[in-house]
Amino acid sequence: MKNSTATLIIILSLGIGFFYTYPSYKKIESVSLEKKTFSDALNDAKELKELQNNLISQYKSLNQTDLENLKKVVPEFFDGESLVAIINSIASSHSMRLSEVSILKDNDRIASDPNKVDIYKTKEISFVLKGDYKNFILSLQNMEKSMLIMDLKKISIKKDQRSLDQNILDFEVKFNTYSIR
């Protein structure tokens, strides 16, 4: 009986130890893993804050005129009226007449890759310039020298049917321009 009582006490203490200690051990393991995850996230946040501070100091060290030029090349917001005014000013300085201006909205543009996130917005602009070929080339050269990025997509040339002058042509121009937002 002594043997069986001792065996029963040992089995009982092992059972209680196992059923009490094992869940507590698993809970401690889980909390330890969670602590490590939070510690890693805190380290990542510290690295990102350091990177942010570094980028801010680099931004502040940039020359102010360079920043202004960069804002002209890729403006923060698209301003269609200003762009049309610039194009019209360039065209009229070369005796060209601007007409049929069209600006395709962002949501009208079909994305080639739906999973791709653009860091800039693209606008497609098209218009017609009426005038002679020499002045058209001069207008294009001035547009090229302007600070705004324009990716030329299409130029088509047609004879102006309404004009009696044989040198007057319709130049349809289509290009993309960009902005941050």
Tens digits of per-residue pLDDT, 110-136?
455 556 666 777 888 889 999 888 988
Q: Do residues 127 and 102 lie in contact, with contact meaning Cβ atoms separated by under 8 Å? A: yes
Q: How far apart are CA 128 and CA 102, in angstroms?
A: 9
What percent of the chain clears pLDDT 90, i.e. is strictly above it? Answer: 12
CA dihedral 40, 45, 48, 49 (to 10 degrees): -140
Asked if residue 66 is part of any domain, the answer here is: no
- Does pLDDT of 107 surpass 50? no
Which domain range does residue 36 map to?
1-61
- 34, 61, 88 - which closes a domain: 61
- 61, 86, 110 - which closes a domain: 61
Domain count, the chain: 2
Cβ neighbours, 10 Å, residue 139:
23
84 shares its domain with 30: no
Tokens of 34: 């969670």
Q: Which of 95, 120, 100, 129 is nearest to 177 (CA)?
A: 120
**Better-predicted residue by pLDDT, 12 or 92:** 92
Predicted confidence band of residue 147 (pLDDT cuts 50, 70, 90): low
- What tens digit of pLDDT does each residue of 60-77 get? 888 888 777 776 666 667
With b for 16 or more beta-carbon neighbours within 10 A and e for fewer, the 24-63 pattern comes to eeeeeeeeeeeeeeeeeeeeeeeeeeeeeeeeeeeeeeee
56 shares its domain with 84: no
Predicted confidence band of residue 168 (pLDDT cuts 50, 70, 90): confident
Q: How far apart are CA 67 and CA 73, in angstroms?
A: 10
- Does pLDDT of 109 surpass 50? no
- 9, 34, 61 - which closes a domain: 61
Q: How far apart are CA 89 and CA 83, in angstroms?
A: 10
- Please give the average per-residue pLDDT across 77-85, as a whole number: 79
Looking at residue 51, its pLDDT comes to 92
- Does pLDDT of 50 surpass 90? yes
